[in-house]
Every structure is written in structure tokens, then in C-alpha cells.
């Protein structure tokens, strides 16, 4: 009888141990214990892709695991973010994104995911967007452009990276507020409107600092207004849109890291604290400077509160602009 009891106790112990066992080790193994994949929903080589990769190299040092960067371009970030949403929520497949797939695309069209189900981990950098013109243009201030557009409806042509981008929406919100009309010239990439402006094919360009700062420094272009929440560090004499009387909107342009629904909170916290340390890495700080990004670390909660607070407002604006697909 004692032997039977001992045998039962042994079998129970074996069963308990087997339930704790997982394919990649034991639960006591610290996370992460294998490489992490971070998916960027656009193509390789752009400013956003480069800064994500620079950040990942810094994060590898903190997490002591390789980070694999994958590009899954298409649908203005929708394809990449949807891939992450369908991934196992174990912390080994994460996404890096701009705000567009979170607050613009779901308001414009039906997306295969609900952005409110994602788990925000942090944001670590931000684009600086702004309105620029050629150096020899007759306008030397934002107010002069507004006055020209008011007197010449539709004649001021501005180039941007496409309809439905955050810069396009910001320009049209300005037009609504000021009661003016200007003409958008959409392009397929961020570099094209800059080239068009330099060639005199458009009057203004709304693009990020990484694409226009070199031309401003060379004296070929001038910045008239920052569309970001603050002035550009490198051009501090040009105002932010929030400094204009009666303006309460700006381009949300953070790059964030998120996980799929169900990501364990202890894993999220480990990643957030590790990414915060990575954001202070000297090599990453150099990359921010070189690529003309702002270092703008926000916790998962801080960033989540920011973009979610703008979601409904964005839907109303897109509907007013006629950009919502029926």
C-alpha cells in the first residue's frame, strides 16, 4: 500500500512538472530568452525605418537578446500592424509604428484590426513636420501664406506624401479654420514633394525635418511653421502651430512600440523599462541627431492616453474633409 502511495505521489509530481514545462524552457527562465522580432509597417531605408533599427540596436544591449527587424509594407502601415495583431502575445513579436495606423486609417476605412486592443509599450522618437517654401519664395511667414491663399483661392499648391497622411490632414484643418482654399498635390513618397518644391512645381512642401533640414541649411528652403507640438530644436526661431492664436491641434508623429492583445503585463513592464534605458544610449542619441528626429520617450500609458484622446476628433475631421470611405 505504501508503495502504491509513493507511486501515486511520484506520478502527481511528474504531472505538475510537465505542466510547467514549455517548449522554450521553463517559466522561471527570464524574459526574453530568445530573439525578438520587431515589425515596421513600411519599406526599408526611410527615416522611420532607420531610427527604428538604431533603437533596436540600443535595446539589444539592454535585453541581451538579438532583435530582428522586419519590414511589412502596405496600406499605410496597416499590413504590418495587422501582422502583429495576429501574432502570439508572448513578447517575441512586436510592432513599431507611426500614429497613422492607429488613429487615421481605422477612421478612414475598415481595418482588419481594432487599434484599441493593442498594448502600447512606449514611444521613443518623433518626426518634426512643418510647412516650408523655397528660399526665394515671396512668403516669409505663415501669415503671409494665409493672406495669399485668402486672396488667391486654390492657387497655393502644396506637396505632401499623399492623401490621408497626417500632414495633409493638418493642412486641410488649417484651411477649414482660416476659411481659405489651397490645392494639395499628393506624391507617393516623402522625398518627391521636396524635389517638386525645389524644382518650382509646387509652392509649399509639408514634410519632415529629416528630408528638408539639409536644404534649409544649404539656403535652398525656409521653414515657415512647425506642425509639431513644439519648435524644432535646430530652427528655434520658427514657431510651432500651437503658438498660433486659436490653434489647438498639431501633428502627432511619435514612433511607438506595441504588442498584440494579451501581452502579459510583466512582459510589457520589462520591455518598457528596458526601452527607456535604450532611449538614453549614446549611439542612439547620435542617430536621433543625424536623422533629425526628436528624442521623445513616453511610457506606454502616456502614449496610449495621447493617441486615444485624439481618435474621435480625427474621425470627425476626416468625415468633414470627405476622406472617410463609404
Mean pLDDT on 264-285: 98
Count of structural domains, the chain: 2
Q: Is residue 210 located within the same domain as residue 268?
A: no
Q: Is residue 103 located within the same domain as residue 141?
A: no
Residues 16-33: pLDDT tens digits? 334 434 444 444 578 999
Mean pLDDT on 307-318: 95
Q: Is residue 123 located within the same domain as residue 133?
A: no
Q: Is residue 232 located within the same domain as residue 148?
A: yes
In a domain, 234, yes or no: yes
Residues 232-271: pLDDT tens digits? 998 999 999 999 999 999 998 999 999 999 999 999 999 9
- Burial code (b: 16+ CB inside 10 Å, e: under 16) for 150-173 equals eeeeeebebbbbbebbbbbbbbbb
Contact between 230 and 240 (Cβ < 8 Å): yes
- φ, ψ (nearest 5 deg) of residue 254: -70, 150
In a domain, 112, yes or no: yes
Here the CATH number for the domain that contains residue 218 is 3.40.190.10
In a domain, 73, yes or no: yes
Mean pLDDT on 91-95: 98
Mean pLDDT on 190-208: 94
In a domain, 47, yes or no: yes
- Determine the pLDDT at residue 28: 55
CA–CA gap between residue 324 and residue 23 (Å, rounded): 45
Give residue 196's domain range: 129-243
- pTM of the shown model: 0.86
Residues 143-196: pLDDT tens digits? 999 999 999 999 999 999 889 999 999 999 999 999 999 999 999 888 899 999
CA–CA gap between residue 318 and residue 326 (Å, rounded): 12
- Determine the pLDDT at residue 29: 77
In a domain, 15, yes or no: no
Q: Is residue 133 located within the same domain as residue 122?
A: no
In a domain, 177, yes or no: yes
Q: Is residue 135 located within the same domain as residue 235?
A: yes
Q: Is residue 140 located within the same domain as residue 235?
A: yes
> Residue 319: in which H helix or E strand, if any?
helix 300-320
Amino acid at each position: 500500500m505504501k508503495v502504491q502511495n509513493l507511486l501515486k505521489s511520484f506520478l502527481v509530481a511528474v504531472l505538475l512538472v510537465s505542466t510547467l514545462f514549455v517548449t522554450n524552457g521553463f517559466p522561471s527562465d527570464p524574459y526574453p530568452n530568445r530573439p525578438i522580432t520587431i515589425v515596421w509597417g513600411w519599406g526599408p531605408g526611410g527615416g522611420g525605418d532607420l531610427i527604428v533599427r538604431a533603437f533596436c540596436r540600443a535595446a539589444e544591449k539592454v535585453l541581451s537578446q538579438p532583435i530582428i527587424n522586419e519590414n511589412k509594407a502596405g496600406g499605410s502601415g496597416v499590413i504590418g500592424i495587422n501582422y502583429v495583431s495576429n501574432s502570439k502575445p508572448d513578447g517575441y513579436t512586436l510592432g513599431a509604428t507611426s500614429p497613422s495606423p492607429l488613429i487615421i486609417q481605422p477612421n478612414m476605412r475598415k481595418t482588419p484590426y481594432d487599434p484599441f486592443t493593442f498594448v502600447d509599450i512606449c514611444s521613443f522618437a518623433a518626426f518634426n513636420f512643418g510647412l516650408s517654401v523655397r528660399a526665394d519664395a515671396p512668403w516669409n511667414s505663415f501669415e503671409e501664406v494665409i493672406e495669399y491663399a485668402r486672396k488667391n483661392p486654390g492657387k497655393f499648391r502644396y506637396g505632401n506624401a499623399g492623401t490621408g497622411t497626417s500632414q495633409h490632414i493638418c493642412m486641410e484643418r488649417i484651411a477649414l479654420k482660416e476659411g481659405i482654399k489651397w490645392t494639395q498635390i499628393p506624391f507617393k513618397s516623402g522625398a518627391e514633394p521636396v524635389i517638386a518644391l525645389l524644382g518650382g512645381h509646387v509652392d509649399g512642401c509639408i514634410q519632415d525635418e529629416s528630408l528638408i533640414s539639409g536644404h534649409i541649411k544649404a539656403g535652398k528652403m525656409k521653414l515657415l511653421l512647425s506642425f509639431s507640438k513644439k519648435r524644432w530644436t535646430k530652427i528655434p526661431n520658427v514657431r510651432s502651430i500651437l503658438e498660433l492664436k486659436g490653434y489647438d491641434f498639431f501633428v502627432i508623429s511619435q514612433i511607438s512600440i506595441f504588442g498584440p492583445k494579451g501581452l502579459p503585463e510583466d512582459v510589457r513592464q520589462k520591455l518598457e523599462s528596458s526601452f527607456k534605458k535604450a532611449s538614453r544610449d549614446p549611439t542612439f542619441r547620435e542617430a536621433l541627431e543625424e536623422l533629425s528626429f526628436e528624442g521623445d520617450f513616453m511610457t506606454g500609458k502616456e502614449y496610449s492616453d495621447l493617441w486615444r484622446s485624439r481618435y474621435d476628433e480625427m474621425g470627425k475631421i476626416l468625415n468633414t474633409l470627405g476622406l472617410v470611405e463609404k
